Amino acid sequence: MKIIDLNSDIGESFGAFKVGNDLEVLKYISSANIACGYHAGDHNVMFETVMLARKNGVKIGAHPGFPDLAGFGRREMNLSTREIYNLMIYQIGALQAVCKANGVSISHVKPHGALYNMAGSSRKIAYAIAEAIGDLDSQLVLFGLAGSELIKAGRQKGLQVAEEVFTDRTYQPDGTLTSRRENNAFIHDPSEAIQRVVRMITEGKVKAVDGTDLDIHADTICVHGDGPKAVEFVSELKKALAQENITLRKSWSE
């Protein structure tokens, strides 16, 4: 029997603007990455999402990003490593406070968007993130792109890491995700996406855009909860995993 974590980026609404279908997605995932107010989310949304995650027995994680509400955190910012360290502390700390008020705790941290991608290839940025997490709580699990600099930095800092793979994104021959600006960045066929994920878990392989077969390790799978058929897809994915005798991880001590 194989064990896998299934995560989704949620709590990304802001004020009157609603993003995603958190209420339904939370019924199927095992880890929730909750926006901390910089790229999305706000104090009210954070409280509501933490309570929903607690109700569904889902592990809670911080999802810090660049201070870029207008760009949804997907635009690169030229910040010093100290600034990155500080913004990590600020955002994780905010969610820790919300969790404490609700009688729960954070289990993991997953950077968002451009910050996530930059940390995947920049050793300095990756270590600034890992250092902030370690200084706050060395028991927190660091989520990062499988095989990336962020995973390496987490291990260097002595953190438990979770190598992440994506259901709906294509991969470059070097193991990085294809840029969202490219036409072939996304996999739109749900059946193909599910087949690829199952192969990543069972065989440790994924086919890159040039046809190259890449070695990949999967600890956690990211499913996006803001698409029109997100709930239907995550439901079908969970069924497919069960058919392959793959169960969802209940805690990071398993």
For residue 46, pLDDT beyond 90: yes
Q: Is residue 253 part of a domain?
A: no
Is the pLDDT at 1 greater than 90, yes or no? no
Q: How much of the chain is in helix, strand and coil states, percent to nearest 5? A: 40, 20, 40
pLDDT digits (tens, 9 = 90+) for 230-242: 888 999 999 999 9
What pLDDT was estimated at residue 22? 94
**pLDDT tops 80 at residue 227:** no
Q: In 3-state terms, what secondary structure has residue 208?
A: coil
Helices (H) and strands (E) in the chain, counts: 8, 10
Q: Which residue in 60, 148, 130 sits closest to 88, CA to CA? A: 130
Taking only the tens place, the pLDDT of each residue in 152-202 is 999 999 999 999 999 989 999 999 999 988 999 999 899 999 999 999 999
- Considering the domain boundaries, does residue 254 fall inside one? no
Look up the CATH number of the domain holding residue 39. Answer: 3.20.20.370
Q: What is the pLDDT of residues 57-72, one digit of tens each?
A: 999 999 999 999 999 9
* pLDDT at residue 225 is higher than 80: no
For the chain, the domain total comes to: 1
Secondary structure of residue 176 in the 3-state scheme? coil
pLDDT higher than 80, residue 84: yes
The SS3 of residue 49 is helix
Dihedral, CA of residue 63, residue 65, residue 68 and residue 71, to nearest 10? -80
**Has residue 9 been placed in a domain?**
yes
Q: Over range 210-238, report the average pLDDT.
A: 89
Cα separation, 109 vs 85, whole angstroms: 13
Which string of b and e fits 71-110 if b means at least 16 CB within 10 Å? Answer: ebbbeebebebeebbebbbebbebbbebbeeeeeebbbbb
pLDDT confidence tier of residue 78, bands split at 50, 70 and 90 = very high
Query: Does any domain span residue 116?
Result: yes
- pLDDT on residue 45: 98
For the chain, give the mean pLDDT.
Answer: 95
How much is the average pLDDT of 80-99? 98
Residue-level length of the chain: 254
**Is 126 domain-assigned?**
yes
